């Protein structure tokens, strides 16, 4: 009942190898038989069995995605779901499948990766987050298993990765604030040890420098976590500077906290900017301007990079890809006139 390559061969009066060659577009095959085979394929509605093919070719065209243990955070913002969509889109266009594994905790995460890489089921792995000194990355690198990460890893030249230009994104935001007349711009960060955090901070500093505004340490606060209460606290700290007119943050949650504190103090003339353009941003009072990191593109490009290296036997030249950010201007982005 299941139609196999043999059935096609019989129907077209050729050998199975010939059918196989037609399937793989082998050049040395006569148009005549090619046509006959294709007709037989159509007539029998034959579809090659990917499992058998995988076994013979030792490749599955399946990609594995391991969701970090702290995926709960991801549930709150659209990053994950958008990245997933992007990944699926590219994978589908190239006839790849994607399988996901949710990890319960950090330990379990590495376990999942070990399982995936040693299972012979996936050709490559996509990681949606990098930690510093990331055990998953180290493991995959050591094992020389094909993988790509979203976010800049520690050895950017030895690992495939895709990321935003966080430096530039923040640079632009601050630059625009300055153009709008702001001079005293506060910075609220957290998780200082993440590359991402550092880059955004550097972008902030550079923008000031390029506009001949002196960097002022009092206008900078680094908190521990991306939480709303940290934002509130940061806001209080920054308000010590009486003449402050804007606060940039490196995460929407921090920005939410800032807005909350400003509301409580009934301060309305300070501009606030967030990062990640989470769903709640537009529902803040006032609606929060935020930098969209284009998660779908991150997922798309990550998958593209991985599949390309999987298919080119030669080591591809490009080891990374930068995805544009997009500044979403909303009410909180007021000017200082």
Residues that bind DNA (CB under 7 A): 2, 4-6, 13-21, 23-24, 27-30, 32-34, 46-49, 52-53, 55-58
When CB distances are held under 5 to 8 angstroms depending on the partner's kind, the choice from a second copy, DNA, none that residue 85 binds is: a second copy
Residue placing its CB nearer to DNA in the complex, 23 or 71: 23
Residue 182 to residue 173: CA distance in whole angstroms: 12
Quick check: 93 binds a second copy (CB under 8 A)? no
Question: Applying CB under 8 A, which part among 148-156, 158-166, 232-240, 276-284 lies near a second copy?
Answer: 276-284
Q: Cα-flanking dihedrals φ and ψ of residue 323, to 5°?
A: -100, 135
CB of 243 to a second copy, least distance (A): 32
Tell me: cis bond preceding 217? Omega within 30 of 0 counts: no
CB of 58 to a second copy, least distance (A): 9
Question: Applying CB under 8 A, which part among 115-123, 162-170, 191-199, 328-336 lies near a second copy?
Answer: 115-123
Quick check: 295 binds a second copy (CB under 8 A)? no
Of the candidate residues 39, 42, 102, 105, the single one contacting a second copy (CB under 8 A): 102
**Measuring CA to CA, which residue among 188, 254, 250, 190 is closest to residue 220?**
188
Of the candidate residues 11, 40, 68, 82, the single one contacting a second copy (CB under 8 A): 82
Residue placing its CB nearer to a second copy in the complex, 199 or 228: 228
Question: Applying CB under 8 A, which part among 72-80, 133-141, 172-180, 310-318 lies near a second copy?
Answer: 72-80
Residue placing its CB nearer to a second copy in the complex, 1 or 318: 1
Phi-psi region of 266 (alpha: psi -120 to 50; beta: other; left: phi over 0): left
When CB distances are held under 5 to 8 angstroms depending on the partner's kind, the choice from a second copy, DNA, none that residue 78 binds is: a second copy
Q: Which of residues 145-184 bind a second copy (CB under 8 A)?
A: none
CB of 169 to DNA, least distance (A): 44
Query: Is the four-CA dihedral 191, 168, 331, 219 of positive or negative sign?
Result: positive
When CB distances are held under 5 to 8 angstroms depending on the partner's kind, the choice from a second copy, DNA, none that residue 218 binds is: none
Residue 50 to residue 60: CA distance in whole angstroms: 8
Of the candidate residues 80, 147, 167, 300, the single one contacting a second copy (CB under 8 A): 80
Quick check: 52 binds a second copy (CB under 8 A)? yes
Torsion of CA 215, 130, 154, 293, to 10 degrees: -50
Residues near a second copy, by CB under 8 A? 2, 47, 49-52, 54-55, 60, 62, 71, 74-76, 78, 80-82, 84-85, 88-89, 92, 97-102, 118-121, 279-280, 283
């Amino acid at each position: 009942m299941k139609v196999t390559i043999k059935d096609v061969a019989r129907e077209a009066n050729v050998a199975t190898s010939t059918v196989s060659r037609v399937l793989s577009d082998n050049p040395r095959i006569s148009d005549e038989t090619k046509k006959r085979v294709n007709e037989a394929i159509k007539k029998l509605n034959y579809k090659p069995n990917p499992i058998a093919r995988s076994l013979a070719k030792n490749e599955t065209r399946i990609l594995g995605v391991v969701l970090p243990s702290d995926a709960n955070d991801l549930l709150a913002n659209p990053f994950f779901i958008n990245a997933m969509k992007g990944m699926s889109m590219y994978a589908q266009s190239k006839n790849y499948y994607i399988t996901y594994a949710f990890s319960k905790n950090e330990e379990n995460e590495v376990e999942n990766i070990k399982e995936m890489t040693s299972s012979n089921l996936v050709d490559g792995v996509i990681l949606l987050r990098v930690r510093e000194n990331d055990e998953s990355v180290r493991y995959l690198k050591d094992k020389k298993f094909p993988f790509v990460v979203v976010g800049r890893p520690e050895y950017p030249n030895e690992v495939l990765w895709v990321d935003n230009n966080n430096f530039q994104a923040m640079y632009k935001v601050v630059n625009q604030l300055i153009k709008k007349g702001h001079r005293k711009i506060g910075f609220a960060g957290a998780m200082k040890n993440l590359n991402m955090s550092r880059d955004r901070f550097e972008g902030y500093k550079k923008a000031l420098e390029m506009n001949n505004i002196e960097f002022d340490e009092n206008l900078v606060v680094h908190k521990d976590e991306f939480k709303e209460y940290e934002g509130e606290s940061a806001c209080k700290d920054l308000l010590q500077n009486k003449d402050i007119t804007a606060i940039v943050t490196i995460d929407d949650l921090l920005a939410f906290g800032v807005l909350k504190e400003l509301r409580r103090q009934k301060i309305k003339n300070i501009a606030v900017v967030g990062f990640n353009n989470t769903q709640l941003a537009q529902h803040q009072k006032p609606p929060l301007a935020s930098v969209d990191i284009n998660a779908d593109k991150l997922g798309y490009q990550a998958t593209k990079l991985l599949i390309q290296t999987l298919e080119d036997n030669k080591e591809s030249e490009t080891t990374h890809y930068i995805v544009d950010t997009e500044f979403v201007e909303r009410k909180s982005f007021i000017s200082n006139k």
